[in-house]
Structure 1
Amino acid sequence: MSRSTDRSATGDCPSLPWRALSATTIFGVAALCRSFLYMCSRPEINGLESFLELLESRQDVSRRTRGLLTGIDPLYSTEFPCFCLIAWRTSIADMGLIRQYRTILACTMDDPIMWGAIPLRWNFGLSSSNKRWGFGSHDICYQSRPLALFFTMGQVLPTHRLAHSPHGGLAQPAVTQAIRLLSKGPFPPDPHLPPPERQHWSLENICVDPFSDLPTAYTTTGIDSHLAPSAYACNSYSWVHIFPEGKIHQAPNKTMRYFKWGVARLILEANECPDIVPIWLEGFDQVMHESRGFPRFLPRVGKDISITFGKKVDSEAVFGDMRRRWREIKAKAEVASPESRNLPLGVLSDELLHDEEAIELRKEVTQKVRDLVLEVRRTRGLSDEDPKHGLAETWIEEGPQREGKMKDESWSFQSRVQPCSLLQLRRGGIIRG
């Protein structure tokens, strides 16, 4: 393909063909998922009207003053949310990727099917500014070029899981991109710049805009290359969706695991504290339960599915003091290490990453987010959890088994991830000691 530059590929938005392909991907998936939700399941949707009003208020990018962060406790989730076609089997098999398809489908029933509750008009049009961005496991969603292109078009950030990749953890580029998406952009992709030859499209480098010569790519490993969404002004104050548990956890009493601390970075480090909407899901574990038999790769139809949107949180009232304390911690670190003063947004110095006070603050913010989800859980008539369920140390006691049926009757799945050691958890900022 020629390297001709489309004039629409500016710092305001990607090229028109890129936006068209992304819009087609998102709309097609949304249509399939809405069909599955309403034609193959028995859905119960609560609080959708207020959530749609919030989306309506965010239609004009120029009038936004903060990003939007939605977070759920799924009873069926992967390390990070992914975006997939649930009826993609034929095309995947034609490409010789049927095993990849089975892995992806078995791991991605919450997102995007839950968004089938949103009317299709919200997923129509070339603008990506009011469509959600999510995280997708790099070792699953980006393991081949066709999959990488598909998930890139579906607005999924390639995310490395610490238990599977040395590139994982709190400071990885995907988290930086998410922080910038929740802020007022555009932002140059530094310091995560790929090699110069990876800034431009080729058959080996398909996750960048082929109709632009602008250096808007970033890398997650030093050798890969992905279009940086935060490099475009149209993605200022975007909507980012997260699965804070970061692991499938199907418990009969609908309890939650501890939340990952990357959630805290999104709230503390964005330019303005994002609007936050907690969401509670039920029934997706029955659509693709870990104990299911043949055919494992097919979702089960006729199941009861419940999606409950919580009210928009007064984020300044809840997290304002924590953000103030973060600024104080950051100021002290910059005095101690002047070279860290000019770090780009979303990039942490080693001092800030490992500072004891910063770690405790991240734990506090993450626990507060978990409490917000628990409040929505209570509206479903579920009893309160044991507070110990919110601690990482509690789940370490599961022992070396990371898949299958656990001692507490819950089911777990790691998606080809090897059991992580205590050393890996400490390195990733999950536990200390």
Structure 2
Amino acid sequence: MTSSSTGAQQGPSLPWRVTSSLVMGISSTISKIFLFGLNRTEVIGLQDFLKVLDDRADPAKRQRGLITVSNHISVLDDPVLWGVLPLKYLYNPQNLRFGLGAHDICFTNKAFASFFTYGQVLPTHRLKHSEQGGLFQPTFSEAIRLLSTHPSFRTHSPLSLSNYPPTYSTNGTDVVPCPSVHQRNSNAWVHVFPEGAVHQHADVDCRYFKWGVSRLILESEPAPDVVPIFIDGFQQVMPEDRVFPRFLPRIGKRIKVAFGQKLDGESAFGDLRRRWRKLVESRGGPGNEPGVIRDKRLRDGEEAREIRVEVAKRVRDEVMRLRSQLGYKEANPSYGFAETWAKDPKSSRKRYRSEVDGSLINQD
């Protein structure tokens, strides 16, 4: 699949924009009907989040990217979650999220790849399923470029537009359009589920957050805003232990979607970003390929790991703080550490009941 762009500074073609608007709008409208017509859905903090989106409506006036993060409790979380937005937002792709979708699920054939690409989903390989997975795969580079200010909007930029290619490959054989090449996607919105797996816990507690979100926060320029989101009830719609008909979502459930306050990325993570920049400079600087890390110390060095761990912890703390404000049972602090989950004897399985917290986990 190739991009419909005809130049680095131009937006997608009219057919691309129309198709993307229909794919995202219709999917979200169906989600809205499901949420409010077939279930009982409560939304908290929506007006504040809509103000965030309204302030970002004109791509040329955006000052920074936006990252939303939430717990991950069912296979339907995205796109159904976005059905809580008013209709006028749902058919405007330039102010909607880019998501990360499993390559082995969402991009298994040309039809699926087209649908999810128009739906602003970036193909992501998971280490449990592919050797192409991990923290430094090309899709993370693309997400970082999306969150950053497009070079054409910068007065003094060390990057040239040639560093923003029209396409990229996730595995050496596929061809994926680069949405970051378009000005209209400058300082874009990217949503992530940092738990990296469906985690259905009885008290809606969270696992540790993986480091992909750390890369997005540390390497995007300028520092992106971050909005935590907490969701509950989707695990009742698609419980992992459901029986026949397994493919059908359950209805009549209580669903809750809560948006937290926007965090200024520099205020919340500025100390860690400065520490990261210092480390990068000590290794010869960032280079001229945005979002690409080749230096081994920056990939696997002890200090780089420490910085990423702390960023992920702070992001998780914000989601858990929102959970606490909603009156949920006190969280187990040990669940926030990767070491806790590494001890689970079933962690290599795709679907299992965890011996750490009794939750149902889906890594498939």
TM-score scaled by length of structure 2: 0.92
Uncovered stretches (5+) of structure 2, i.e. residues with no partner: 152-159
Match of 1:347 among 282, 287, 292: 292
For residues 405 and 331 of structure 1, what CA distance do their matches in structure 2 show? 44
Offset, 1:405? 2.4
Matched with 1:85 is none
Alpha carbons 1:66, 1:183 under 8 Å: kept: yes
Matched with 2:331 is 385
Matched with 2:9 is 11
Alpha carbons 1:189, 1:228 under 8 Å: kept: no
Matched with 2:84 is 117
For residues 170 and 247 of structure 2, what CA distance do their matches in structure 1 show? 30
Matched with 2:155 is none
C-alpha distance 246-6 of structure 1, shift in aligned 2 (>3 A): closer
C-alpha distance 189-383 of structure 1, shift in aligned 2 (>3 A): farther
For residues 329 and 237 of structure 2, what CA distance do their matches in structure 1 show? 23
Alpha carbons 2:5, 2:12 under 8 Å: kept: no
For residues 223 and 243 of structure 2, what CA distance do their matches in structure 1 show? 44
Indicate the SS of the match to 1:111.
helix
Alpha carbons 1:74, 1:282 under 8 Å: kept: no
Could you list the runs of 4 or more consecutive aligned residues of structure 1 that deviate by over 4 angstroms after TM superposition? Answer: 5-10, 186-191
C-alpha distance 341-184 of structure 1, shift in aligned 2 (>3 A): closer
For residues 69 and 345 of structure 2, what CA distance do their matches in structure 1 show? 28
Offset, 1:6? 8.1
C-alpha distance 381-266 of structure 1, shift in aligned 2 (>3 A): same
Offset, 1:391? 0.9
For 1:26-425, list aligned pairs within 5 A.
Answer: 26-76=24-74, 107=75, 109-125=76-92, 128-185=93-150, 216-334=166-284, 341-349=286-294, 350-400=296-346, 402=349, 403-407=351-355, 408-415=357-364
Give me the identity figure in percent: 44
C-alpha distance 7-71 of structure 1, shift in aligned 2 (>3 A): closer
For residues 288 and 129 of structure 2, what CA distance do their matches in structure 1 show? 28
CA offset digits 1:106-159 (Å, max 9, x no partner) = x3x11111111001100224xx32110000000110011111111001000000
AA at the equivalent of 1:112? P
AA at the equivalent of 1:319? F
Offset, 1:28? 0.8
CA offset digits 1:44-99 (Å, max 9, x no partner) = 100000000110011111111100100001222xxxxxxxxxxxxxxxxxxxxxxx
AA at the equivalent of 1:117? V
CA offset digits 1:261-285 (Å, max 9, x no partner) = 0110100000111111000000000
C-alpha distance 6-284 of structure 1, shift in aligned 2 (>3 A): closer
Matched with 1:83 is none
Q: Look at both structures and tell me which one has the larger radius of gyration over its CA atoms.
A: 1
For residues 8 and 299 of structure 1, what CA distance do their matches in structure 2 show? 41
Alpha carbons 1:43, 1:305 under 8 Å: kept: yes
Alpha carbons 1:73, 1:243 under 8 Å: kept: yes
For residues 116 and 247 of structure 1, what CA distance do their matches in structure 2 show? 21
C-alpha distance 277-175 of structure 1, shift in aligned 2 (>3 A): same
- Aligned length in residues: 351
Alpha carbons 1:190, 1:218 under 8 Å: kept: no
Uncovered stretches (5+) of structure 1, i.e. residues with no partner: 77-106, 192-214, 335-339, 416-433
Indicate the SS of the match to 1:246.
coil
Offset, 1:252? 0.6
Alpha carbons 1:189, 1:218 under 8 Å: kept: no
For residues 236 and 113 of structure 2, what CA distance do their matches in structure 1 show? 28
AA at the equivalent of 2:352? G
